[in-house]
Structure 1
Amino acid sequence: MLRRWRLAILSALCGVLIAAAKVNDGSSWGAVILLLAFLGLAVALSPGVFPRPERAADALRDGRPVVYWRPGCPFCLRLRARLGPEAARLHWVDIWQDPEGAAAVRAITGGDETVPTVVIAGEGFVNPDPSWLRDRIAAVS
């Protein structure tokens, strides 16, 4: 569980330490700005930004597209942000929580755990363009 939050906690901790150094130097506004920036980064890197993760076995049941992701992945974050509300129409499987999901990604990518990996109608796509995926979601629905 801690592994999923590691980058978010590290970002927040760095922000606090740098802000404390700025306050020591007498720059309280600089400290506030840096602290907010690092806390924003911590939120962006946290697993809380993504929809509730599902198990791979459950996600494959209804035929909706499945996105395999992991916390801290900038490409996963970009995909999630660019999909916007459309992201709720997908199943999201955290490969760090679900060994079956990690195995599925390795099978698609030839042994790597490259994410995001999207499965639509049984076909896998590694790090797809968000606009392309949005079009495919509309076509499936």
Structure 2
Amino acid sequence: MKRAWISPLLLVLCGSVVATGLILRGNLGAAVPLLFVFVPLAVVNSPLLFPRSIGALEAQSRSAVDGRPVVFWRPGCPYCLRLRIRLGRSAHRLHWVNIWRDPAGAAVVRAANDGDETVPTVVVAGRPHTNPDPAWVREQLSSA
């Protein structure tokens, strides 16, 4: 759980330190926009943007019942973020597994990617697809 928040906290901390330095030098006009860059970056890299993660075993059993894809992801991954944003509201219909929180999910990803933890890995009908096109994932979701 803590590991997922390291990157966002570092972004907020670094932005705050730099903004404080600018304010101490009397440059408030540059400090405020800087914070408006670092805070959204922290939110984007946090687990807040993604739907609630579940365990790999639960996701796989739910997927077997409802036919929806399972997405294995991790916070801070730009490709996971791209997939999440491009899926829009339909992202909440997928089963999301954070591999940093779930060792079984990390094992599934390593098995699908020759030992690498390459995410996003989307499992559709038992077949893994590494970093698929978001439009293809949307199609798979609509056919489920």
- Give the alignment's TM-score, normalised by structure 2: 0.94
SS in 1 for 2:62: coil
Which residue among 60, 69, 77 is the counterpart of 1:73? 77
Matches within 5 A, 1:90-101: 90-101=94-105
Matched to 1:47, the amino acid is P
Matches within 5 A, 1:57-68: 57-63=57-63, 64-68=68-72
Matches within 5 A, 1:1-141: 1-63=1-63, 64-140=68-144
Aligned structure 1 segments of 4 or more residues deviating by more than 2 angstroms? none
What is the CA-CA distance between 1:62 and the residue it aligns to?
2.6
Tell me, which stretches of 5 or more residues in structure 1 are unaligned? Answer: none
The whole-number CA distance in structure 1 between the counterparts of 2:124 and 2:130 is: 11
Alignment RMSD: 0.9
The whole-number CA distance in structure 2 between the counterparts of 1:62 and 1:16 is: 42
The whole-number CA distance in structure 2 between the counterparts of 1:27 and 1:130 is: 42
The whole-number CA distance in structure 2 between the counterparts of 1:81 and 1:3 is: 22
Number of aligned positions between the proteins: 140
The farther-off stretch of 101-110 and 17-26 is: 17-26
Tell me, which stretches of 5 or more residues in structure 2 are unaligned? Answer: none
The whole-number CA distance in structure 1 between the counterparts of 2:135 and 2:28 is: 41
Query: Percent of pairs identical after alignment?
Result: 54
The whole-number CA distance in structure 2 between the counterparts of 1:52 and 1:138 is: 21
8 Å CA contact 2:69–2:140 kept in 1: the answer is: no
The whole-number CA distance in structure 1 between the counterparts of 2:110 and 2:95 is: 18
SS in 2 for 1:81: helix
What is the CA-CA distance between 1:16 and the residue it aligns to?
0.1
The whole-number CA distance in structure 1 between the counterparts of 2:18 and 2:85 is: 27
The whole-number CA distance in structure 1 between the counterparts of 2:104 and 2:28 is: 48
The whole-number CA distance in structure 2 between the counterparts of 1:18 and 1:132 is: 41
SS in 2 for 1:62: helix
The whole-number CA distance in structure 2 between the counterparts of 1:43 and 1:104 is: 27
